[in-house]
Amino acid sequence: MTETLFLTSADVDDLADHADYVAVVRDAYRQIGEGAPAEPRTLLYNPDPAGMLTTYAALLPETGAMGGYTYSAGFGAGDAWFMTPLFDAESGEPLALLDGASMNPFKTGAAGATAVDALAREDATEIAVIGSGAQAGGQLATTATVREFEAVRVFSPTPDNREAFASAFDDRLAADVSAVASASDAVAGADVVITATNASDPVIDDADVEPGTHVTAMGQYNPEKNELPPELIARATYVPDIRKRVRQDAGSFLAAVAAGLVDEDHVAADLGEVVAGKHPGRTSDDEVTVFDSGGTGIETVAAAHMLYTRANDEGRGETIDFAPASEALTGR
């Protein structure tokens, strides 16, 4: 038997700040860029009741951990459940099982922030956020740790939602945060654009994205999810989180392929290659860059290991026993 730490969302939700998430996720992508393995998601659908089971995984040898997410959504409940198993990368023993709900927006946001730090201009001061949900909040909170933004403009279709989002972040950030009436108003003059929606059609116009802009699109986890216009994909230096998922579920890239504007060679690098210094990323101030974030086990393992280590040091959580296969299968 081995003892494994079980951690609820409440056990871990105050153990790290936004910059902590960015630091460990950045290092995780460096490891991937230097050859550590990670796989894109597997996705199982059920039509009735409608729902899905999703898994993805990564192994981070320097961190000393491997694992990922297994989560379910729908099936009549109208909700999602984030189960995060974490294993020792050397022995294979289960270290922890985390409820990943509270960390989800921040570990995903940390991937976006890592991309902004690697791809956005150093002098970026204005940011547009399209979306006002938890994921938009996670993206903004983490990205604000890598650039000193002076202005944040937020748009989502529901006025009350965008106003509440802007008000909450205006109190939290040094920047001037305002809600605006359209996506075009948000994007105009922005140095960084974040799209955090579940849209099936583009939520911004290519013509509104000025030269030198960096765009992070984090709603790109399904062939039908398509936040960015194909013309924008075609003119941008395009960087996904994992190269192998581009043909699988990167909706905006697939739309650009279908339109005949790009082929698979249009992928400049994946984020790990940029962070590891194997690709320069941005090469000019006029270049448009796009980070396509569909969610990976990379940021999940990095964040989960950080939270596990801190919780273990503080004596949080409960232990549960796991039997090794040799014991369970032989009855010894």
- pLDDT the model gives residue 331: 62
- pLDDT the model gives residue 332: 57
2 burial (CB, 10 Å; 0-12 / 13-18 / 19+) is: middle
- Beta pairing, strands 65-74 & 50-60: antiparallel
The per-residue pLDDT for range 295-307, each reduced to its tens digit, is 899 999 999 999 9
Largest CA distance in the chain: 67
Judged by DSSP in three states, 120 sits in coil
Residues of the chain short of pLDDT 70, as ranges, are 331-332
- Beta pairing, strands 50-60 & 38-47: antiparallel
Judged by DSSP in three states, 275 sits in helix
Average pLDDT across the chain, whole number: 95
**In terms of pTM, does the model score above 0.85?**
yes
Which domains occur in the chain, in start order?
Answer: 1-123+215-332 (3.30.1780.10)
- pLDDT the model gives residue 223: 83
